[in-house]
Structure 1
Amino acid sequence: MVDAHYNEPRLVALYDEDNAGRWDTDFYAGLLGTEPLRIADVGCGTGSFAVELTQAGHAVTGIDPAAGMLAAARSRPGSELVTWLAGTAEDLPAGPFDAAVMTGHAFQCLLTESEMLATLVAVRSRLVPGGTFYFESRNPAAKAWLEWDSGRSGPELQESSAGTLEVEWELISVQEENDGAVVIFEDRTTFLSDGEPFASRSTLKFPPADLLERLLQEAGFSSTDWYGDWDGGPFVEATSREIIIAARCHAAAEATRRVRGTG
């Protein structure tokens, strides 16, 4: 199920404004390097990173299940350089790809172990030996969802290219289990220019690092680097806000290793 704000044209048009931070894409671009690669952008959204990568000399295939996002991606300047596809990782062509990326915490839209494993297997099967899958998930220990409720403060007013917006969030439920928390929240946007309201309810999974490590091994990835922030700091399970992963596959299996801090 694709969340409403990924298909509603008025909200899609504001997506890049709402997600203007470059910490994640700059980090991944640095890891990818300057040598031309064949890259799969899984969950490419409005295509901003995919186009950026092609302009840096890479050959990019962008895939996303949301028709609204793909429409925005295909209309952006430079879009003709990217191969755009509708679907999920399992719908990717055989490739092969030298690397794959999955940004914007899109991995958290996979709500079950079977869905996560299927995505990891699909990406792994399309990578060349030595290829790398880059993605991230919020660390459940940080409980980021506690910040996702307007609560007593009420709606916020935000300025945008579409005029003034009234925006609020509501945390609907949190179910914490051994395989991670499942969080349901709703964001509501009203365009004050005409009073038109939109509501979109989202469900996200917060898998712990141990589960991700096991699934990566089951999918056939043989070595993994773990980061805890967008500056490349080590992942510390108790304190890091992010679980950022660079998972590689090799012709000969190697033991998975973690690059983590202590404490």
Structure 2
Amino acid sequence: MMYQALAVYYDELVGDEETTLFWKNEIKKQINAGSILEYACGSGDMAIALAKDGYAVTAGDISEAMLQSARAKPGSELVHWQIQDMCAPAEVNELYDGVICLCDSFNYLLEDEQVYAFFHNAYQALKPGGCFIFDTHSLDRLKEFEDEYLEEGSLHEVQYEWSILAQEDRLYQNFLFFDENGVTHHEQHIQRVFAPSFLKEQLEECGFSWKVMTDFKKPGIQPGEKYFYLAKKEK
């Protein structure tokens, strides 16, 4: 299962306080106040940051190990945490001013049906006029990782290797951790890179109006690393 061994080292490997602050400020421009539901919250930095700024935040993830990391952080008591499958049929007990899914979490959806199910869940969870924000890998990432990327290093005396390789519309990420007892822990993460035209169709079928930015600041689809979708529930 993903985010088991990696959960222990996640923040040290990819955590970025500056990016979290930037993301938070961008979200606040779109969702002025109120309640936010975060899907695939990971180790909880964004949820806690928003809660500290006065938002009522519910944050979910499919990995209990990641939620344990989140609950251990200062400020975690301000957030309602829950185990959550972003594609599973959801009982709507509360409507939110905003729904977010960040840090390429969306790209873990591999099947067309999962995309529609997730967009439908997000739409159903929003108040009329609510905002749905998510990011995805850009198509350029497939070219970037045509040749395998390899990173090696150490975290608390634990050696690791992290590789990324693109094949067709998939990114294959492999994490190897070599602990002090000589045990190797391996996780493979598979992500799908979607054509923007497909996401447009799915968003509109679910009832969203939307716009997309590349790397936050460039309007529309342009060369870059990430696409940022801002979708709105009009009714």
Structures share fold, TM-score greater than 0.5: yes
User: Matched residues in 1 for 2:162 and 2:27: separation?
Assistant: 36
Unaligned runs of 5+ in 1: 176-180, 252-263
Partner of 1:149: 149
Q: Which runs of 5+ in 2 are unaligned?
A: none
SS in 1 for 2:115: helix
Partner of 1:60: 57
State the TM-score, normalized to the length of structure 2. 0.88
Is residue 220 from structure 1 mapped to residue 207 from structure 2 by the alignment?
yes
Instruction: Please say if 1:187 is aligned against 2:210.
Output: no
Aligned sequence identity (%): 23
Paired AA for residue 230 in structure 2? A
Amino acid in the other structure paired with 1:18: L
| Partner Cα distance (2:42, 2:78) in 1 | 16
Worse overlay, 67-76 or 37-46: 67-76
CA distance in 1, matches of 2:69, 2:92: 22
Matched residue type, 1:247: A
**Residues 1:27 and 1:217: Cα distance change in structure 2 (over 3 Å):** farther
* TM-score relative to the length of structure 1: 0.79
Separation in structure 2 between the aligned mates of residue 147 and residue 133 of structure 1, nearest angstrom: 34
1:187 touches 1:200 (CA, 8 Å); kept in 2? yes
Indicate conservation of the 8 Å contact 1:42/1:63, yes or no: yes
Tell me: CA distance 1:131–1:148, structure 2 relative to 1, closer, same or farther (3 Å): farther
Measured in 2, the distance between the counterparts of 1:22 and 1:77 equals 14
Separation of aligned partners in 2, 1:147 and 1:246: 32
Paired amino acid for 2:161: V
Kindly name which structure, 1 or 2, has the bigger radius of gyration based on alpha carbons. 1
Which amino acid in structure 2 is aligned with residue 145 of structure 1? Answer: F
Q: Aligned with 1:33: secondary structure?
A: helix
How far, CA to CA, are the matches of 1:214 and 1:86 in structure 2?
Answer: 29
For residues 164-191 of structure 1, what are the alpha-carbon distances to aligned partners after superposition, in whole Å with 9 as ceiling and x for unaligned? Answer: 52324263x613xxxxx12333221223
Which residue of 167, 182, 194 corresponds with 1:207? 194
8 Å contact from structure 2 (residues 158, 177) kept in 1 = no
Determine the structure 1 residue equivalent to 2:219: 234
What is the letter of the counterpart of residue 149 of structure 2? D
1:99 positional shift: 0.3
Alpha-carbon displacement from aligned partner over 1:82-130 (angstroms, at most 9, x marks no partner): 1111122344643210001111100001001110110000010110111
Aligned length: 230
- Structure 1 residue runs of 4+, over 6 Å off? none
Which SS does the other structure have where 1:13 is aligned?
Answer: helix
Counterpart of 1:261 in structure 2 is none
| Equivalent-residue separation in structure 1 for 2:184 and 2:57 (angstroms) | 36
1:82 corresponds to 2:60? no
Query: Does the CA-based 8 Å contact 1:148-1:185 persist in structure 2?
Result: no
Q: Cα distance, 1:219 vs. partner?
A: 1.2
